[in-house]
Every structure is written in structure tokens, then in C-alpha cells.
Amino acid sequence: MTPPNPFETGNLLEVAGLRVTLGAGTVLRGVDLAIRPGEAVGLVGESGSGKSMTARAIGRLLPRGARSEGTITFDGSDVNALDTKGLRGYRGQVAMVFQDPRAHVNPVRKIGDFMTEALRTNAGVKKAEAHERAADMLGQVGLDSKLLARYPHELSGGMLQRVMIATALLTRPRLLLADEPTTALDVTTQAEVMAILAELRRDFGLALLFITHDLELAAAVCDRTAVMYAGQVVEVRDSALLHTDPLHPYTAALGAARPDIGRSQARLQAIPGRPLSGFEAPDTACAFAPRCAHAAPGCETELPMLTELDGGQSRCLRAAQLRGTLGATTDA
């Protein structure tokens, strides 16, 4: 874990009360998040929980017709209030890596063109120098600089993803938003890419928002992890404590549902019901209550707020009561 840079106090990125509506439905119903410089924060949730939409909101890449409320602050400035020039600068500081590399790289342009485009356009770097930097960065992710002259369809998925990561780092960003960067890859390649990400983070002092549906993966890579459900952040916790001392029943259920190789189980513990998306969640009750093993009558009538608890946060009305009882050592 990188200690925070003593010259930078305060959070690098702050998301407060983020709500996003798309058409008639609400996709994000309340996201609160903070990332310190150089910190790695995981964002975990099932499909429909709104984790990708959160990343897009931070990157100002929301689809046409989406409206957002709440604030997103980067280094003290309001991200949504940035003008064109400011936005361009912001995009240089906050880079995104996407889930499906093959769909996200223009198939008719060479890799070299793809990698150096932003440098040449925004930073005015000359072509030769830009290519040199790109070649250098390719080396850092373990790829040959000869790939600069190739086309995307000539590379494997894993290689393309490494190219995406290398490209993202060319502008020396301070925050990397990684939206399920390894989900589309096979397990071995996953491990390689994760290792590269971790190494680069150390070398460049990058902050990282790592989005995934895999709780264990996030906990392994990130200092802190946030868990999302139905368009809201329901828990934020130090990764080390996530499994042993979670603060929200949903996190506990997620952890318990994963089969443990070291233990023999009679049957898999699935969470009953199906995950709710932001569209379907009620505004006057806890969204997880119908599936929660610890639900009390009050949970169906009151909307829980994100409250601080023991260095983390939890959106559960009974969080204080359930403290210490949700860990992996107790069977739900």
C-alpha cells in the first residue's frame, strides 16, 4: 500500500450524492466515494448495480440523455463544471481502461496511431517522439515495440488490453479508472494483466478505481473496497477487513456465496432472489431487504443512509447492531 503523498492532502477524487437518471429510470441512486492520491479503491457489484455507470459519470462519458445530480470533485475542481479546455486537461489526468479491448480499439488504425493519438493532438508532441514514448510504455507492459506497426486484429485480447493500459498511462494520469479490465480475458491472462497493473501503480504512484464483479479480486488488489447494490454504494471498507468483518449483510452474503476451496460445503450458499437494478429499487426502503437474512420490519419502511462505522461506511439500518456478526467465521 502506497502511503499518501505528504505534499498532497485531501482526496484526489470525491464523489458525493451522485444520482444519474437515464430516460424514465434512475440508474444511480446515491454514490459516495473518495479516493486518495495513490490509493487503489475497488468498486464491486453485480450486473445492474451501476458500477460501470459510476465510472462513466466520473469520466464524463455518460450516454446522451442522461442527467446527473450530486458532485464529482477532482483535485478540488468540480468535474461537471469544466469547460472544453479544462475537460481536455482533466481527461489527461484521469484515464480509462475498458472491459472489451477489441471493441474499444479502432480496428482500421495501427496500434502506434491508437497509442499516440492523444499525445499528438492534445499535448502537441511530435510524431517521432510520441512513438518513442509509446514504444517505451509497451516495454513496460511486457510487449514488443514492433506491435506499433500492427493492426488490432493481429493481436490477442490480452495483448490488446495491455496496449490499452499502456496507452492510458502515456499521458501520466493521476487516476486510472479500470472498468472490469480483465473480465473478457482468460484466467492466466487475467493474472498477468493484474500483475502489470499493480506494478505500474507502484512505479507511477497512480490512484486506481478498480471495477469488478469479483469481490476477492478487488480485495486482493485494492486498499479499500466499495460495494454497490441497486445503484447505491452500500459499504466501503478496508479490503483486509472485508471478508472477516464486513459491515453490510450484502457484502457478507457475497463473501459467503463464493465457494471456499479450503472448506467442504454441503451446498453452495446463493443469495435468494435476484439482484435489483437501480431502475427497480424503491426510494423509501432498503433495496436489499427482501433478500437479506438479517432484515427487520423497519428495513422495509425506511431508506438507510451511508453512515460511518469503524473506519468504514455502511448503508444498513442495523449496521451497528450487526457489527462483528457478519464475518466469514459465522455461517449466515
Partner 1 sequence: MLVGSLLVASFVIFGALFLAPGSAIAALSGGRALPAASVAILNQRYHLNDPFFTQYWYWLDGAVHGNLGISITLRENVSTLIGNRIWTTAGLVLYASLIICVAGIALGVLAGLRPGWLDTSTLVTTAVTAAIPSFVASIVLITVFAVKLGWFPALATGTGGGFLSNLRTFTLPAVALALSSLAIVARVTRAAIREEADREHVQTAISRGIPARQVIQRHILRNAAIPITTVSAITVASLIAVSAVVETAFSMNGLGAYLVQAAQSKDLAVVQGISLVLVTAFVVVNLIADLLYAVLDPRVKLGARAS
Burial bucket for residue 80 (CB in 10 Å: 0-12, 13-18, 19+): middle
**22: part of which helix (H) or strand (E)?**
strand 13-22
Helix (H, G, I), strand (E, B) or coil at 231: coil
Question: Could you tell me the smallest distance in angstroms from the CB atom of residue 237 to partner 1?
Answer: 29
CB atoms within 10 A of CB 183: 14
Question: Could you tell me the smallest distance in angstroms from the CB atom of residue 100 to partner 1?
Answer: 7
Question: Could you tell me the smallest distance in angstroms from the CB atom of residue 115 to partner 1?
Answer: 10
* Helices vs. strands in the chain: H and E counts, helices first: 11, 12
Q: Which is nearer to partner 1, 108 or 187 (CB)?
A: 108
Please report, for residues 78, 175, 219, the alpha-carbon distance to residue 89 in angstroms, rounded to integers and kept in the order given: 13, 13, 31
Q: Which of 210, 161, 158 is nearest to 186 (CA)?
A: 158
Question: Could you tell me the smallest distance in angstroms from the CB atom of residue 38 to partner 1?
Answer: 22
Q: Which is nearer to partner 1, 105 or 281 (CB)?
A: 105
Q: Which is nearer to partner 1, 160 or 281 (CB)?
A: 160
- Rg over CA atoms, the chain: 21
CB atoms within 10 A of CB 37: 20
Q: Which is nearer to partner 1, 102 or 291 (CB)?
A: 102
Distance between CA atoms of residues 215 and 254, nearest Å: 8
Q: Which is nearer to partner 1, 57 or 236 (CB)?
A: 57
Distance between CA atoms of residues 253 and 271, nearest Å: 6
Q: Which is nearer to partner 1, 67 or 109 (CB)?
A: 109
By CB under 8 A, name the binding residues for partner 1: 59, 61, 87-92, 95-96, 98, 100, 103-109, 117-118, 121-122, 151, 153, 164, 167, 171
Q: Which is nearer to partner 1, 152 or 249 (CB)?
A: 152
Q: Which of 178, 322, 292, 312 is nearest to 230 (CA)?
A: 292
Question: Could you tell me the smallest distance in angstroms from the CB atom of residue 88 to partner 1?
Answer: 4
